[in-house]
């Protein structure tokens, strides 16, 4: 596809404009007011070198370059050269490229040979997989997909919270009040109720905490009874998590969670003490980070047990050595900002320059309408319930409206779950938000169902024309003079920008950039659909318009794919 900015840069160089190519690229603008052209070139910077007033320079340049066939019109207005590109050539190049590349439109080789780790989701075993986890899960999955699309070798890691003192509490509670059948029937809800009970009882009886601590120590020593229970909790929890991942269409390459590093901790302690970073403080071992304006990091407790941060440092070493990452991305809530700053700093102080390649991608908090979630108090909304309810509700709507689908159950799943994912990825990730059933199940406006419906509409236009959804035959033979109207041109421009938007979303770890762009494309497609007659009698005109419909369909589908959302062909 022609890169118009670069092309205009070259044309200006050939016209002897006294700026370097790089300076030119920086200077060329895209005017917000469309009557000022598709691109504009301000001439102020040239005045000195060319010893002429900017408006005169603009006039000369406009005259020199206006005959180029990639432009429809070039005008000078004051100090600006306003460039209107040839709509027909532009539209032709986009439509051809997109239809040829299909699924690969926007794909690149930029990341070839570089490994990017995306760690996401990482729920805690035996704790609910709640609405708070959906953020890391779907933002992380989209970031993984973006990097994969850009040609990086990607590794998806689920750093399960499967270790730590809470397992002492869980085992303690299970032994006192639990029974096997309940756990098997509904593992996480049951284990959660034990955990809640533990805290209620521990408020009355302080010895419970000691009991839980000694159980955890036994687990760390590898005592068979404790290990067996822990393993069982982990397996049962994973079964539940995997049910949710399956609904979301998400997979991982590794489930190496916190327990995986339990035997890799000594090395961290040794290095820290060799390099003189470890200090003793009331029996605990700490790293003082006050010189770096960060709080003290506790590495081992006074009873010798290691902490969350110690396991993260060990995991960092392991990942560098095992995967030799180019980037190591952590999609974790902004509440853990300090935690990541601390351990990245510790790795840096140990002298490892890969510390700079570790990236924390934070996101804002989800709260409930009646307050923040609290696992301890059992105030949680389970992710699985949200997904099931969204699917159910979608099915009601589909049946009520008599929506045309081949399979109402399948479509409800794609649309209901798509709606939840889309809403998650619509806003800037750092924003806090309040979870609301009304919002998630609202299918009007700039929502997932709206975009999916637009895709299905494009499919239906293609079907009605007797074309298969993909494959219009030889695009190069089509006459694109029929798709140069404003609506067609606007739509083509948005499709043209898509590869750049994908790169931008990846660079900023911000899938919402793509989500918004996909909405823009859907809206532009709908304007085109409403303003123009597509299935006209003139065969040439019809085919050219269908080729644009097909290109828009591909762009929307690729966008939704990258967000982790399916695109039904009928709805």
Of 92 and 424, nearer to ligand ARG (C-beta) is 424
CB-side exposure of 388: number of CA atoms within 13 Å?
A: 7
Query: How far is it, in rounded angstroms, from Cα 93 to Cα 98?
Result: 9
135 is a site residue for ligand ARG (CB under 6 A): no
Query: How far is it, in rounded angstroms, from Cα 245 to Cα 375?
Result: 21
Answer whether 328's CB lies under 8 Å from 316's CB: yes
Task: Supply the minimum distance, in Å, between the C-beta of residue 152 and ligand ARG.
Answer: 20
Interface region with ligand ARG, contact rule CB under 6 A, candidates 35-43, 80-88, 117-125, 173-181: 117-125
128 is a site residue for ligand ARG (CB under 6 A): no
Q: Looking at the DSSP assignment, which residues form a beta bridge with residue 157?
A: 119, 254
Task: Supply the minimum distance, in Å, between the C-beta of residue 124 and ligand ARG.
Answer: 5
User: Strands of 80-85's sheet, edge to edge?
Assistant: 39-42, 80-85, 71-77
Answer whether 350's CB lies under 8 Å from 271's CB: yes
Interface region with ligand ARG, contact rule CB under 6 A, candidates 27-35, 122-130, 173-181, 220-228: 122-130
Of 163 and 528, nearer to ligand ARG (C-beta) is 163
Interface region with ligand ARG, contact rule CB under 6 A, candidates 121-129, 168-176, 259-267, 406-414: 121-129
Of 226 and 312, nearer to ligand ARG (C-beta) is 312
C-beta atoms surrounding 42 within 10 Å: 15
Q: How far is CA 335 from CA 217, 331, 341, 360, 476, in A?
A: 28, 12, 12, 11, 54
Of 315 and 487, nearer to ligand ARG (C-beta) is 315
Q: Which of 130, 156, 159, 414 binds ligand ARG (CB under 6 A)?
A: 159
Of 311 and 545, nearer to ligand ARG (C-beta) is 311
Query: How far is it, in rounded angstroms, from Cα 134 to Cα 440?
Result: 13
Answer whether 558's CB lies under 8 Å from 479's CB: no
Of 42 and 364, nearer to ligand ARG (C-beta) is 364
What are the backbone angles phi and psi of residue 287, rounded to the nearest 5°?
A: -115, 125
Of 159 and 169, nearer to ligand ARG (C-beta) is 159
Answer whether 197's CB lies under 8 Å from 376's CB: no
Q: Under 8 Å CB-to-CB from 105, ≥6 apart: which residues? A: 97, 98, 498, 499, 554, 555, 558
328 is a site residue for ligand ARG (CB under 6 A): no
Task: Supply the minimum distance, in Å, between the C-beta of residue 258 and ligand ARG.
Answer: 8
Task: Supply the minimum distance, in Å, between the C-beta of residue 330 and ligand ARG.
Answer: 5
DSSP letter, residue 476 = G
| Coil vs helix vs strand at 376 | coil
Task: Supply the minimum distance, in Å, between the C-beta of residue 335 and ligand ARG.
Answer: 8
Of 312 and 520, nearer to ligand ARG (C-beta) is 312
97 is a site residue for ligand ARG (CB under 6 A): no
123 is a site residue for ligand ARG (CB under 6 A): yes
Q: Under 8 Å CB-to-CB from 46, ≥6 apart: which residues? A: 17, 18, 19, 52, 54, 57
124 is a site residue for ligand ARG (CB under 6 A): yes
Task: Supply the minimum distance, in Å, between the C-beta of residue 332 and ligand ARG.
Answer: 4
Q: What mask of x and - would describe binding to ligand ARG in positions 303 to 322, judged by CB under 6 A?
A: ---------x----------
163 is a site residue for ligand ARG (CB under 6 A): no
- The distance in angstroms from the start CA to the end CA of the chain is 32
What are the backbone angles phi and psi of residue 83, rounded to the nearest 5°?
A: -115, 125
Task: Supply the minimum distance, in Å, between the C-beta of residue 121 and ligand ARG.
Answer: 9
Q: Which of 143, 265, 332, 419 binds ligand ARG (CB under 6 A)?
A: 332
Number of chain positions touching ligand ARG (CB under 6 A): 9
Answer whether 37's CB lies under 8 Å from 66's CB: no
CA neighbor of 365 nearest in space, from 119, 57, 136: 136
Catalytic residue numbers?
127, 130, 133
559 is a site residue for ligand ARG (CB under 6 A): no
121 is a site residue for ligand ARG (CB under 6 A): no
Q: Which of 31, 42, 161, 249 binds ligand ARG (CB under 6 A)?
A: 161
Three-state SS annotation for 131-164: CCHHHHHHHHHHHHHHHHHCCCEEEEECCCECCC
Indicate the residue whose CB is closest to ligand ARG.
161
106 is a site residue for ligand ARG (CB under 6 A): no
Interface region with ligand ARG, contact rule CB under 6 A, candidates 118-126, 228-236, 270-278, 454-462: 118-126
Task: Give the ranges where 324-430 is alpha helix by DSSP (H).
Answer: 337-349, 383-401, 408-424
Answer whether 83's CB lies under 8 Å from 121's CB: no
Burial of 49 (0-12, 13-18, 19+ CB in 10 A): exposed
Q: How far is CA 510 from CA 139, 200, 250, in A?
A: 8, 41, 18
Q: What mask of x and - would describe binding to ligand ARG in positions 445 to 484, judged by CB under 6 A?
A: ----------------------------------------
Q: Looking at the DSSP assignment, which residues form a beta bridge with residue 254?
A: 157
Task: Supply the minimum distance, in Å, between the C-beta of residue 260 and ligand ARG.
Answer: 11
Task: Supply the minimum distance, in Å, between the C-beta of residue 511 and ligand ARG.
Answer: 19
- The residue whose two tokens read 């419970």 is 208
Of 55 and 161, nearer to ligand ARG (C-beta) is 161
Q: What mask of x and - would describe binding to ligand ARG in positions 260 to 279, judged by CB under 6 A?
A: --------------------
Interface region with ligand ARG, contact rule CB under 6 A, candidates 34-42, 116-124, 230-238, 466-474: 116-124
330 is a site residue for ligand ARG (CB under 6 A): yes
122 is a site residue for ligand ARG (CB under 6 A): yes
Task: Supply the minimum distance, in Å, between the C-beta of residue 236 and ligand ARG.
Answer: 17
> Rule CB under 6 A: which residues touch ligand ARG?
119, 122-124, 159, 161, 312, 330, 332
């Amino acid at each position: 596809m022609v890169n118009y900015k670069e092309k205009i840069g070259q044309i200006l160089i050939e016209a002897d404009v006294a700026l370097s190519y790089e300076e030119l690229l920086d200077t060329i603008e895209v005017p917000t007011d469309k009557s000022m052209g598709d691109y504009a070139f301000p001439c102020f910077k040239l005045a000195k070198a060319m010893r002429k007033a900017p408006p005169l320079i603009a006039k000369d340049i406009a005259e020199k370059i206006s005959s180029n066939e990639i432009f429809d019109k070039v005008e000078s207005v004051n100090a600006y050269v306003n460039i209107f590109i040839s709509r027909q050539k532009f539209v032709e190049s986009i439509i051809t490229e997109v239809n040829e590349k299909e699924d690969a439109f926007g794909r690149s080789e930029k990341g070839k040979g570089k490994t990017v780790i995306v760690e996401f989701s990482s729920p805690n075993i035996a704790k609910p997989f709640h609405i708070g986890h959906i953020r890391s899960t779907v933002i992380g999955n989209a970031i993984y997909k973006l990097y994969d699309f850009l040609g990086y070798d990607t590794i998806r890691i689920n750093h399960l919270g499967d270790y730590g003192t809470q397992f002492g509490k869980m085992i303690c509670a299970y032994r006192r009040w639990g029974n096997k059948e309940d756990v098997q029937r509904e593992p996480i809800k049951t284990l959660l109720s034990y955990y809640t009970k533990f805290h209620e009882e521990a408020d009355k009886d302080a010895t419970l905490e000691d009991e839980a601590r000694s159980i955890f120590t036994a687990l760390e020593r590898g005592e068979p009874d404790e290990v067996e229970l822990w393993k069982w909790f982990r397996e049962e929890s994973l079964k539940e998590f995997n049910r949710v991942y399956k609904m979301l269409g998400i997979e991982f390459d590794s489930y190496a969670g916190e327990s995986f590093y339990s035997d890799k901790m000594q090395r961290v302690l040794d290095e820290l003490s060799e390099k003189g970073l470890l200090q003793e403080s009331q029996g605990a071992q700490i790293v003082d980070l006050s010189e770096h304006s960060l709080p003290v990091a506790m590495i081992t407790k006074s009873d010798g047990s290691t902490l969350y941060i110690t396991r993260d440092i060990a995991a960092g070493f392991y990942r560098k050595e095992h995967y030799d990452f180019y980037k190591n991305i952590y999609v974790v809530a902004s509440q853990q900002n300090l935690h990541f700053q601390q351990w990245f700093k510790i790795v840096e102080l140990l002298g490892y320059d890969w510390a700079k390649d570790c990236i924390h991608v934070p996101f804002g908090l989800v709260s409930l309408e009646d307050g923040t979630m609290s696992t301890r108090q059992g105030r949680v909304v389970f992710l699985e319930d949200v997904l099931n309810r969204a699917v159910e509700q979608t099915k009601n709507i589909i049946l009520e409206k008599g929506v045309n689908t081949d399979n109402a159950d399948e479509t409800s799943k794609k649309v209901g779950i798509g709606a939840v994912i889309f809403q998650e990825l619509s806003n800037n990730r750092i924003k806090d938000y309040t979870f609301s059933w009304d919002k998630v199940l609202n299918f009007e406006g700039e929502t997932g169902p709206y975009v999916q419906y637009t895709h299905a509409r494009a499919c239906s236009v293609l079907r009605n024309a007797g074309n298969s959804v993909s494959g219009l035959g030889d695009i190069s033979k089509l006459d694109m003079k029929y798709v140069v109207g404003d609506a067609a041109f606007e739509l083509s421009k948005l499709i043209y920008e898509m590869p750049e938007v994908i790169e931008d979303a990846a660079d900023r770890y911000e899938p919402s950039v793509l989500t918004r762009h996909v909405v823009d494309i859907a809206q532009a497609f709908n304007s085109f659909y409403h303003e123009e007659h597509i299935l006209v009698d003139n065969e040439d005109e019809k085919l050219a318009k269908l080729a644009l419909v097909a290109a828009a369909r591909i762009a929307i589908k690729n966008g939704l794919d990258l967000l982790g959302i399916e695109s039904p062909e009928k709805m």
